[in-house]
Structure 1
Amino acid sequence: MRTVFCCSLLLAAFAAHAAPAPWYYWRGKVPGARVCAQVPPGPGWVRDSAAYDGAGCQRRPKVYVIPMR
């Protein structure tokens, strides 16, 4: 019973630190072909930007949480 409890606490700790995958602009072989996605759209596409944390390759403002006593 204790092992199950410890495993569930460990699983909850990992889930609390989960984050969505970053978004990137990808450039294709065709001139001017550029798409925003989390993973490469297929063969022949190369990453063309730094990571974005918002969907659609938009920057989200950082949110800081100040703990209250």
Structure 2
Amino acid sequence: MKAGLFFVALCTSLALWAGPAPWYKWHSNAADYEVCAQTSPGDGWEIVKGPFQDSHCQKLGMP
């Protein structure tokens, strides 16, 4: 019982140290279109610039 509570408390405290994910500028191979996102918008998209600190893809660097 105590070991289980310790494990839950440990996992919770480690999650508090996690930082935000970086943002990237993605370009569509099918159309001349770019978006700013943390993960790939889907098939046919490739990273053209990044990482960025903000959701507007203006501040270069890791968050």
- Calculate the TM-score normalised by the size of structure 1: 0.66
Residue by residue over 1:2-31, the C-alpha shift from the partner in whole angstroms, topping out at 9 and shown as x without a partner, is 213321331132112122221100011223
Measure the CA separation in 2 of the matches of 1:42 and 1:16: 29
Measure the CA separation in 1 of the matches of 2:7 and 2:21: 25
Q: Does 1:10 align with 2:10?
A: yes
Which protein is bigger by CA-based radius of gyration? 1
Map of 1:40 onto structure 2 = 40
Q: Percent of aligned positions with the same letter in both sequences? A: 34
Number of matched residues?
59
Structure with a larger share of its residues in strand: 2
* Aligned-residue offset at 1:35: 0.9
Specify the SS of the correspondent of 1:51. Answer: strand
Residue by residue over 1:14-54, the C-alpha shift from the partner in whole angstroms, topping out at 9 and shown as x without a partner, is 112122221100011223x1111111112111001121122
Map of 1:27 onto structure 2 = 27
Q: Show structure 1 runs of 4+ deviating over 3 A.
A: none
Q: Which runs of 5+ in 1 are unaligned?
A: 61-69
